[in-house]
Chain A
Amino acid sequence: MGDALDDALLAAGLLLVAAAATAAALCRDPARQAVLLSLLGLGLALLFTVLQAPDVGLSQLAVGSAVTPLMLLLTVRKVRRRKRHE
């Protein structure tokens, strides 16, 4: 029974990551894409934990859910501000 549950968790994590990645790739607005990318990071962290690699999950959490979206948003903000000045 435990194996079936492990498989179900693994399938759920994989589906979540696939869906989040597809949604992030199809999104055209960078600001909204940043939100989806952070969800993709959360999904990957879950997947790594289910695969018994919590150390990888920990770094994925820090990078994927915090640093990458923050850099994207700061870039978008800077570009928009420059456009407004011109």
Chain B
Amino acid sequence: MNGWLAAACALVVGGLGPSLWGAARGTTGRRVVAQNMATLLLCLVLLLLAQGYGRPSYTDLALVVCVLGPAGTLVYIRLLGEEIEKHPPGARLLTPAVTIGAPATVVPLCVATGPGRAMAKLLVIGALLVAGGLVTTRALRRG
């Protein structure tokens, strides 16, 4: 029984599914929030998959997602600013998801990989995720 893969599967079904629902229905602001949530969850899923398959090089994908995700959300906020201001979205779930989800995934992975370069990479990804989450939440609140 591979616990990492099971956790990744649970995150896909329970996390990415609802984000897709949020992005398909609802106001423009809510769609942007759902898209940002999806990038965060996908980053965590890719980290879990890399550990589950036993291929540390797969973490590169998570690194790309955690850089591109917040950047994409900022682009949406910049270009759809007027529509988002009309119906400001609730971003209540975003901050707890980042501050709890990122450490809850990265710390067990760090324990599993042990000290070394791979662990430094994981910590960088976790820090980028938290920083990106905070920046996008602030940008969404300001409109």
Contact, CB under 8 Å: B31 / A46: no
Contact, CB under 8 Å: B61 / A61: yes
Q: Mostly helix, strand, loop or mixed at chain A's interface?
A: helix
For the complex, is B16 an interface residue (Cβ under 8 Å from A)? yes
Interface residue count for A (Cβ, 8 Å)?
40
Decide: A9 near B60, CB < 8 A? Known: A31-B80, A32-B31, A61-B65.
no
Contact, CB under 8 Å: A31 / B28: yes
Contact, CB under 8 Å: B20 / A2: no
For the complex, is B100 an interface residue (Cβ under 8 Å from A)? no
Contact, CB under 8 Å: A73 / B42: no
Name the CB-closest residue of B to A40: B20
Measured between beta carbons, the chain A residues less than 8 angstroms from B28 are 31-32, 35
In the assembled complex, the Cα of A57 lies from the Cα of B19 at a distance in Å of 20
In the assembled complex, the Cα of A65 lies from the Cα of B20 at a distance in Å of 14
Measured between beta carbons, the chain A residues less than 8 angstroms from B90 are none
Q: Mostly helix, strand, loop or mixed at chain B's interface?
A: helix
In the assembled complex, the Cα of A54 lies from the Cα of B39 at a distance in Å of 17
Decide: A36 near B23, CB < 8 A? Known: A5-B9, A46-B45, A50-B49.
yes
Measured between beta carbons, the chain A residues less than 8 angstroms from B111 are none
Decide: A49 near B68, CB < 8 A? Known: A6-B5, A12-B9, A70-B75.
no
Contact, CB under 8 Å: B16 / A38: no
In the assembled complex, the Cα of A20 lies from the Cα of B5 at a distance in Å of 22
Name the CB-closest residue of A to B57: A54
Give the residues from 50 to 91 in chain B that come closer than 8 angstroms, CB to CB, to chain A: 53, 55, 57-58, 60-61, 64-65, 68-69, 71-72, 75-76, 79-80, 83
For the complex, is B122 an interface residue (Cβ under 8 Å from A)? no
In the assembled complex, the Cα of A52 lies from the Cα of B61 at a distance in Å of 12
In the assembled complex, the Cα of A13 lies from the Cα of B13 at a distance in Å of 9
In the assembled complex, the Cα of A41 lies from the Cα of B75 at a distance in Å of 16
For the complex, is B46 an interface residue (Cβ under 8 Å from A)? yes
In the assembled complex, the Cα of A5 lies from the Cα of B57 at a distance in Å of 21
